[in-house]
Amino acid sequence: MATETDLPQKEELIAALAENPLGNGSEARVYKIHTSPQFTLRVSDSLTQKDLSQKILKATIVEQEDIFSGRLFGQTVAYLNHPDLLDSYSKDPLITINYYSRGHDYTIVKNSKENPTEQETLSRTIAVTKMLIDPEIFPDKAYDALFDKLKFLSSKQYTIDVGNDLFCNTGNILPSVQDHKFFIIDVMPFVPADQLRLAARPHLNPQHTKGCNSPFFLTRGLMYGYLPHQPFHSKNQELTVLRTKLLHRIVDAATRAQLSDRDTYMFNPTIAWKRQLSHLNISPTEQTTLMKKISNIEDSQPYRVCKKMPNLARIGGWYVNQQ
């Protein structure tokens, strides 16, 4: 893992900002640091480019602990500590250096610069879904490894980041055709019970032990076109057939991994699954088959569960606490 001598220099960070971002989400934009390709620079959308280079030069680079035992989740390696680079209210960092993860984000966003039509997004979503169910591109062991990562994250009291609305962002699970693997990025610590905002979200489970590390949320992270293009995509029979096959691959992998949706943030995952399958327009027969598989999944945890892990400084998410 990274040491102080491995970290990019401030001049490298400034040079990275001159490039086009690798990605641009709702919380931050991410830049590849080409002179130190194992890292990325994550910059909060609240920061403008004005005088940013000067602020970076004046900042102190604060390293983060390796809490994932050498595994990579695109996690924070260091953050920049300077009054102008910290949130004025929470004092959370606005610029972090993160590990680079391979893979590609196939998310197709409405109203993007390319401004695709609904038919174009449908064609691309069909192509991506075909890729995800192709056993030569993503064999069973790729899905098995993905579920193993979820179980590992739970043992560290970290979870895939799904945002405030409990919908996993497809940009946080990156398929890699070259590696025949899936990579998870942008993980966050479990949200403490007192910060779950239960008054506004009574459906959330304060006694969770998995966060969002379960088949339901993983499905959201691999179901391209599910959120931004409903209900148009669900009316297409070809895509529905492909999505049904993808659902079976995910649920079968969850069965092999012995990872259910119990003990997640959700009180009633059964209702959530039924609603999701209905929204996807999965046939009643297939819904019955899938729900039977889902309800029969047993749980196991091969990793020692840590009682408390340090919280990495990070941009965005429900809960950020520097220690």
Answer whether 98's CB lies under 8 Å from 77's CB: yes
**If pLDDT is split at 50, 70 and 90, which confidence band does 248 have?**
very high
The predicted structure's pLDDT at residue 89: 84
Angle between helices 215-222 and 140-155 (to 10 degrees): 120
Strand partners, 313: none
Query: What is the pLDDT, as a whole number, of residue 166?
Result: 47
Instruction: Out of 22-36, 119-133, 219-233, give the one with best mean pLDDT.
Output: 119-133
Could you tell me what percent of the chain has a pLDDT over 90? 61
Confidence tier at 28 by pLDDT (50, 70, 90): confident
Say yes or no to pLDDT of 200 above 70. no
Residue 63 pLDDT level (bands cut at 50, 70, 90): very high
162 or 221, higher pLDDT: 221
CA–CA gap between residue 80 and residue 62 (Å, rounded): 6
Residue 133 has pLDDT above 80, yes or no: yes
Q: Is the pLDDT of residue 174 over 50?
A: yes
Total Cβ atoms within 10 A of residue 220: 21
pLDDT average, residue stretch 107-122:
73
Helix (H, G, I), strand (E, B) or coil at 104: coil
pLDDT, position 232: 84
Mean pLDDT on 141-162: 94
> What pLDDT score does 169 carry?
64
pLDDT bin (cut points 50, 70, 90) of residue 319 is very low
pTM: 0.90
Spatial contact of 39 and 95, defined as CB atoms under 8 Å apart: no
pLDDT confidence bin for 23, thresholds 50/70/90: confident
Q: Which residues contact 38 (CB under 8 A, 6 or more apart)?
A: 2, 6, 99, 100
Structural domains present in the chain: 10-99 (3.30.200), 118-295 (no CATH)
pLDDT of residue 250: 98
Which has the minimum average pLDDT: 101-110, 119-128, 170-179, 283-292? 101-110
- Bridge partners (DSSP) listed for residue 158: 189
- β-sheet with 60-63: strand ranges across: 23-24, 28-32, 39-44, 95-99, 76-81, 60-63
User: Which of these, 56, 78, 54, 84, lies nearest to 65 by C-alpha position?
Assistant: 78
pLDDT category at 322 given cuts 50, 70, 90 is: very low
Residue 140 above 90 pLDDT?
yes
